Structure 1
Amino acid sequence: MVEFLAGTLVLVEVLVLLVGVLARYAWSEPLTWSDELASMLFLWLSILGAVLAFQRGQHMRMGALADSASPRNRSRLELAALVICLAFTVILLPYAFEYAVDELIVITPALEVSVAWRAAGLPIGLALILFFGMMRAARLGKPQDVLIAVAIAAVVITAAIAARPLILGLGNWNLVLFFVILVATGVLSGVPIAFVFGLAALSYVALGTSRPLTVITGRLDEGMSHLLLLAVPLFVLLGMLMELTGMARAMVGFLAAILGHVRGGLSYVLVAAMYLVSGISGSKTADMAAVAPALFPEMKKRGAKEGDLVALLAATGAQTETIPPSLVLITIGSVTSVSIASLFIGGLLPAFVCGLALCALVWRRYRHEDLSGVRRASTREIMAALLLALPALALPLVIRTAVVEGVATATEVSTIGIAYSVLAGILIYREFDVRRLLRMLVDTAALSGAILFIIAAATAVAWCLTQSGFSRALALAMASLPGGAPVFLMVSILTFVILGSVLEGIPAIVLFAPLVFPVAKSLGLHEVHYAMVIILSMGVGLFMPPFGVGYYAACAIGRVDPTKGIKPLWGYMGALLLGLALVAAIPWISIGFL
């Protein structure tokens, strides 16, 4: 039942947004209710997707400690992680219900219905997670093991409540307790990342402040249902459609014909593809979801290790944060009054420099690759592959043109891509298996739910750090640094790498950019140059484990265990930091074409 509802919601969201675009431009009669309906349904899609991901065990987690344990201890650790997730759900459930009841009096302007219809998705979704979690606990361990785990959780919660006066007395030092120690312990113990972030935020509000826990429900709602994030499931679906219709195979065939005989050739293609596609959707997660399904299968066939693939995907996600029309660029321009047009012009070359750094590492890693069994394609074969791939290669151009020309928003444009892919699959490639469509819609909902639940929990963490006053104290400390602009730049890089690792990108920019830009300007730094430095730094942190949520989103999209990608990722992160150092040291890279 949950699968059917979630899959249906994905299809309805596509139709609602596509009809909205058609009504606005084909029929010249804009639908005032389409975005509102899409937003209301999106929360249900997100939470039901998260339920499916939980039921399937697809929420991102670090299983290093559990995987290295004996079978008996591994089972105990998995049970403990499950009980922690259920404890979070049990504590938050009544407040989610209270939050939904409070929304009864709020009426939407276009549809004129109560917002409670949308907010009810949270308590229902949490109740379903609790239900599926109890079923899994019954299968996972013996009854006495389950009872012991529940008793230990109850003792820990009781002890934490008893220690509340001591925690309050720590002041802002309790941030270390909740967002460093608790998060690190939970992540390394194998608890799903989203639940670790959510539990840290919940614990901070409950034990470190006097605020009601309904604020956490509100932050989860905000982080999970922002209309811009609707691009995530839609681009996930677009990536799956490209594979289903044969478009991905045609595109990869052409790229392989050009670069297949080059060592590490498709890795270069991945870097270039992310550069071209990035920024179109407004969501880095959606960009990765559009590229990875098209390239990963062929790269695996050619012997690439899945850990290296997801590491490079995450690195390119960080590298392309400055590519216009990036939502991060628009956000930073909005909150700092920097010209968005200048940011768009200045963002292309820094990402290109970082891309060259990644390609240099790809060359080094694959310089001894055995290509004895690979034949170089002839010119005739390349032209034939190009002709076949042209409709697929035109898709990024169609999407980017629709955004730049204002035909559709970053969210709506994904529906244009979906319609284009369906038509191309039916009319050109003659590959469209309707029988696989329902399963594809369900898989889209589950994968998107896992990603969006992480972002929602990260939004709650961002709110906690703001309310604590940590952001303003950090800006004041940076303003008082000795050493002038060079030291300020180095500290800014370090600061935004750390902030990016614990906050989803846009909250980090919204919270801290208005505070540090006046300091940078007073030190003589060009604001576009400084913007590129902090955006790339934030991107590095966003995709850097163990806390960077972007890395786990990349793993979810690639369907790869996070532990497999960490080792190769450090090399790519080193290359990105080298590129970032060049961008910081040479202002011309950012402002040379202004």
Structure 2
Amino acid sequence: MDAAVRPQDGGGVIARIETVLRHAVELPTAILVLVEIGVLLAGVVSRFVFHHPFVWSDELASILFLWLAMLGAVVALQRGQHMRMTAIVAGMGAPWRERAQVLAVAVPALFLLIVLPYARDYAEDEWFIETPALGWSNIVRAGAIPVGCAIMLAGCVLRLLRFRLRELIEVAAVLAVLVVALHLAAPALKALGNWNLCFFFVLLLAAGVLLGVPIGFAFGAATVAFLICVTNAPLTIVVSRMDEGMSTLVLLAVPLFVFLGLLIEMTGMARAMVAFLAGLLGHVRGGLYYVLLGAMYLVSGISGSKAADMAAVAPVLFPEMKRRGAHEGELVAILSASGAMSETIPPSLVLITIGSVTGVSIAALFTGGLVPGLVLALALALVAWHRSRHEAVGSRASGKEIRRTLVIALPALLLPFVIRTAVVEGIATATEVSTIGIAYAVVVGIVVYRQFDLRRIYPMLLETAALSGAILLIIGTATAMGWALTQSGFSRQLAHAMASVPGGGFGFLLISIAAFVVLGSVLEGIPAIVLFGPLLFPIAHTVGINEVHYAMVVVLAMGIGLFAPPLGVGYYAACVIGRVDPDMGMKRIWPYLGALLVGLLAVAAVPWFSTGFLR
């Protein structure tokens, strides 16, 4: 759910209960983020400084991480921050829009109601398993799933009670009819063989996503419906796959990089980088456009949120760009395009997710992502140069001023390079280097920039938990959905069909580009990767495509879909951040998207861009 969900006020009692529940969850969740950072940082210090690693640190971090994922999902649900598609719902009339809002709460409630007993059983089965280092019962970790599901279910019920009774009854009737219809149609659906996948994972899933059901819950609901109707698999498999998807140690980097990105903005590091680039290039034609592209290249990926990346750059540059005569639509157009351009810039959470679900080396992905992003940045720069020909240019900064801004920006400029070098050179894992980055940002913020507002830490911890929980819930339910697709034999059929595409490897790349542009506009990057990565990467390997090269192609394709109107939610996020009406940029973004597509085709045609610097 997101801020578009505005239920009718059902009375002060429900509001007070929601407030109490929110505060009861938010404080321990914020503390959990801090403890997670502290445990991981202690493990890194003990290993690299004292050469005496804490054998229990990774195990404790893994236990805390599942709790953070589930409680973060609760916070995201309470704040309406779960990823969902709202473009179609927003265009509906008021009565239908409210019904869609009820549906966006009712479907998660139904999914949680079905899964909760199996989550409890799954946790109870873990009672007799003992963790190797700490010697704790594994129910300490697995209990996070039923607890999180129960709190989210309570939150959904409270929110449903605030809608008007008429809409509640109508939506409940529709869902009841759908459940009965699925029960009666189960024999016929079984007889269809794997064609029934089109019903559950194309028609049913697409209907849920397009009507604004949060993506993670839409995945889960479609999977549960498939397993109940056409298989004999126990629903505990959904819970176990969710646990597996959310518990991968590589994903520990997700909340840490999210928090690091917020620290970079809060401490003024992002502003320092932008100020230096503006002094360096602000006097040339299209100079501030190049600064925007360069700033997005530097800061992208650290926060785990394109919205956070854009929010760190746009407010600094847009006022001056408008003063020089830039059209508002032009600004939001290049901001959106720069978000798509920078999807492969490490340490991108999409790249970390690819490494997690496909087994591709994250160090190799980090190395391979730099040049493709640069290729697309150059393509965008050419368009910006042409379209800024009538705008004023700024005065040339003096050498002294450039040196001054460089000195100020140097600590900030070093951070992205330190992070990427540490991972690529094998000095530290993505998780370890994120803790180092947090410690670095805190020290630099306090000592160098003297901007460290303690009052902002608590909201930042909650924002970290909410974004991380939303991402990890999608990964968990998509993992369960991917298991269902794999067990059905769909992956083998897909592999056979796509491997026989005319044109060999390049034909496969072209089809993948088209597919992931569409997926990016509907599902966003991480959900699409978790769902289809394990299926398509082996096919790419079979037809002779390097896995790092394939990763860059599909990530950039998803980025184009994510920021392409009218469906791409990234475009609307850029409009909100830039405070520009979406209609202003709708016509002006297409030359930039065309440049991105040309750059993507160049990356696809020239594998060296992705693999030239791999060892």
Aligned to 1:355: 377
Matches within 5 A, 1:93-492: 93-139=116-162, 141-261=163-283, 265=287, 267-273=289-295, 275=297, 286=304, 288=306, 291-302=309-320, 308=333, 311-312=336-337, 314-320=339-345, 327=352, 348-364=370-386, 366-368=388-390, 370-371=391-392, 375-482=395-502, 487-491=507-511
- Which among 529, 537, 553 is matched to residue 513 of structure 1? 537
Q: Which moved more, 1:93-102 or 1:508-517?
A: 508-517
**Cα deviation per residue 1:68-106 (whole Å; 9 max; x = unaligned)?**
233333222211221122112211211211221122222
Aligned to 1:524: none
Q: Which moved more, 1:502-511 or 1:29-38?
A: 502-511
Which residue identity lines up with residue 281 of structure 2 in the other structure?
L
Q: CA deviation at 1:29?
A: 0.5
Asked if residue 26 in structure 1 is aligned to residue 43 in structure 2, the reply is no
Q: CA deviation at 1:189?
A: 1.3
Quick one: distance in 2 between partners of 1:559 and 1:388?
A: 30
Quick one: distance in 1 between partners of 2:152 and 2:452?
A: 34
**Cα-Cα RMSD:** 3.8
TM-score by length of structure 1 reads 0.84
Q: CA deviation at 1:583?
A: 3.3
**Cα deviation per residue 1:289-343 (whole Å; 9 max; x = unaligned)?**
87445324324545566964763354124454899995578679967xxx99988
> Relative to structure 1, is the Cα distance of residues 234 and 486 closer, same or farther in structure 2, using a 3 angstrom cutoff?
closer
- Which among 510, 522, 544 is matched to residue 561 of structure 2? 544
Quick one: distance in 2 between partners of 1:559 and 1:322?
A: 25
Q: Which moved more, 1:318-327 or 1:122-131?
A: 318-327
Which residue identity lines up with residue 312 of structure 1 in the other structure?
A
TM-score by length of structure 2 reads 0.82
Which residue identity lines up with residue 89 of structure 2 in the other structure?
A
Aligned to 1:80: 103
Q: Is the 8 A contact 2:32 2:64 kept in 1?
A: yes
Q: CA deviation at 1:137?
A: 1.8
Q: Is the 8 A contact 1:17 1:34 kept in 2?
A: yes
**Cα deviation per residue 1:555-589 (whole Å; 9 max; x = unaligned)?**
8899869x959957766554333223223434565
Q: Is the 8 A contact 1:315 1:569 kept in 2?
A: no
Q: Is the 8 A contact 1:493 1:534 kept in 2?
A: no
Q: Is the 8 A contact 2:76 2:470 kept in 1?
A: yes
Q: Is the 8 A contact 1:97 1:120 kept in 2?
A: yes
- Which among 549, 556, 580 is matched to residue 532 of structure 1? 549
Q: Is the 8 A contact 1:505 1:539 kept in 2?
A: no
Unaligned runs of 5+ in 1: 521-526
Q: Is the 8 A contact 1:43 1:225 kept in 2?
A: yes
Which residue identity lines up with residue 25 of structure 2 in the other structure?
V
Q: Is the 8 A contact 2:363 2:425 kept in 1?
A: no
**Cα deviation per residue 1:168-225 (whole Å; 9 max; x = unaligned)?**
1221112211222222222221222222222222222222322111222122222223
User: Residue 38 of structure 1 aligns to a residue in which SS?
Assistant: helix
Which residue identity lines up with residue 22 of structure 1 in the other structure?
V
Counting matched residue pairs gives: 576
Quick one: distance in 2 between partners of 1:332 and 1:387?
A: 41
Q: Is the 8 A contact 2:296 2:342 kept in 1?
A: yes
